[in-house]
Amino acid sequence: MIFEQNALFKKTVADNQNQINELFALYIHWPYCLSKCPYCDFASSVCKSPDESALLTGYLRDLDIYRAQFGRPLTSIFFGGGTPSIMSAAFLKRLMNEIKGRFSFSNSIEITMEANPDAIDADKMKAFKDCGINRLSIGVQSLRQNDLQFLGRRHSVQTALQRIKKAGEIFSRVNMDLIYARPGQTAIEWETELKEALDLGLSHYSLYQLTLEEGTPFYKQGIETPSEETARDLYILTDEIMKKADVPSYEVSNYAKAGQESIHNLTYWLGKDYLGIGPAAHGRIGLTATSSPTSVHEWIQNGPFIETLTSNERFEEKVLMGLRLTRTPFPIKGLSKQGLNRALELKWIEGLSDGIIPTLEGTLMLNELILMLLPNGL
């Protein structure tokens, strides 16, 4: 998929309707981490020596269910978690072979692995690449040692930088995750840190504002995040810096050089079909929704739950996901006419020949915008 830069129509990645229609993704959830970060509510628990053979049994069972019902060529695979880079290369090789035995791969398939700086080294990167991984996403979170400590990270800035450098030598596509809008972080501090991250020359950056997720240690401690106004200013500053560096946003928190957007995540945001295997994974194939228990034991025992959504339910999901895209027009069919007019008046959306795109202001007001545009609210 080629990103076509066209300022007038803001055409994006996903210009080519045939390519969009072909998107079909596979998500694989790895449920373990070496330690639990105090801000994180992703489905993961601490385990240093996972039972890979039990996991394999569960993954293969899920693959077999989905292959029988929904087999089509895969355009992307994403190993997410948790910390999937903990898995052994031998396990990855076996799993990839099992997937290949059940699904065909599109020629340009994107295969991403999420990695923590302290749970991957150069040898493992090479071994993962040999198994087919062609995109690495590294969770760095901060380039400041104090903040890494505050965030409960196990790695140092130096380790993270070493791993990014190595990853750049081994993989042609590397993403780094950073968390900003941290307690007390000033605009100038973030600007300096972000520019250092940009100096690393990666093709993709996921930049998340710190959120306090219910039930996490940070939530319980009542950690103070920046005010709404400061968070807004930091978001606008981020948008400007990334645009100037030619790594503009294409989704609320995702920024990429031309043509380097994550095909896998675009599949979700464009409302296309995806399979999800592993505990806590979910999938969408047409109106079929699949979801698995978060507990590894329950998932292995019971497998995924499969249900059928109404077309209204799926449409609402597509609106929620599709309006996160900042460069891809969302078709107006089915949206509230009154809401569209109001959003245009407020300059929260831009109207294009093939749909609407939220403006920066619209993205900042995304929840309100979505409520306005859904035919019956949410």
Ligand X SMILES: C[S@@+](CC[C@H](N)C(=O)[O-])C[C@H]1O[C@@H](n2cnc3c(N)ncnc32)[C@H](O)[C@@H]1O
* Shortest spacing between CB 179 and ligand X, in angstroms: 5
User: Both tokens of residue 85?
Assistant: 């880079």
Site string for ligand X, 143-182 (x = CB under 6 A): ----------------------------------x-x---
Residue list 134-153, contact with ligand SF4 (CB under 6 A):
139
| DSSP for residue 285 | E
Could you tell me which of 364, 118, 353 has the C-alpha nearest to residue 239? 364
Options 79-87, 195-203, 225-233, 292-300: segment touching ligand X (CB under 6 A): 79-87
Nearer to ligand SF4, 38 or 248 (CB): 38
Site string for ligand SF4, 9-38 (x = CB under 6 A): ------------------------x--xx-
Rule CB under 6 A: is residue 31 a binding residue for ligand X? no
Options 36-44, 160-168, 326-334, 358-366: segment touching ligand X (CB under 6 A): 36-44
Rule CB under 6 A: is residue 280 a binding residue for ligand SF4? no
Residues 6+ apart with CB under 8 A from 85: 113, 114, 115, 116, 119, 120, 124, 128
Helix intervals (H) in the chain: 17-22, 52-70, 89-102, 122-130, 145-150, 157-170, 187-199, 217-221, 228-244, 263-269, 296-302, 311-322, 337-345, 360-364, 366-373
111/254 Cα distance (integer angstroms)? 18
Residues 6+ apart with CB under 8 A from 192: none
Nearer to ligand SF4, 42 or 70 (CB): 42
133: left (phi over 0), alpha (psi -120 to 50) or beta: beta
* Shortest spacing between CB 38 and ligand X, in angstroms: 9
Nearer to ligand SF4, 280 or 343 (CB): 280
Residue list 55-84, contact with ligand SF4 (CB under 6 A):
81-83
Q: Which of 12, 75, 76, 83 binds ligand X (CB under 6 A)?
A: 83
Rule CB under 6 A: is residue 116 a binding residue for ligand SF4? yes
113/233 Cα distance (integer angstroms)? 32
88/324 Cα distance (integer angstroms)? 35
Q: Which of 156, 211, 291, 336 binds ligand X (CB under 6 A)?
A: 211
Residues 6+ apart with CB under 8 A from 351: 340, 344
Give residues in contact with ligand SF4 (CB under 6 A): 33, 36-37, 40, 42, 44, 81-83, 116, 139
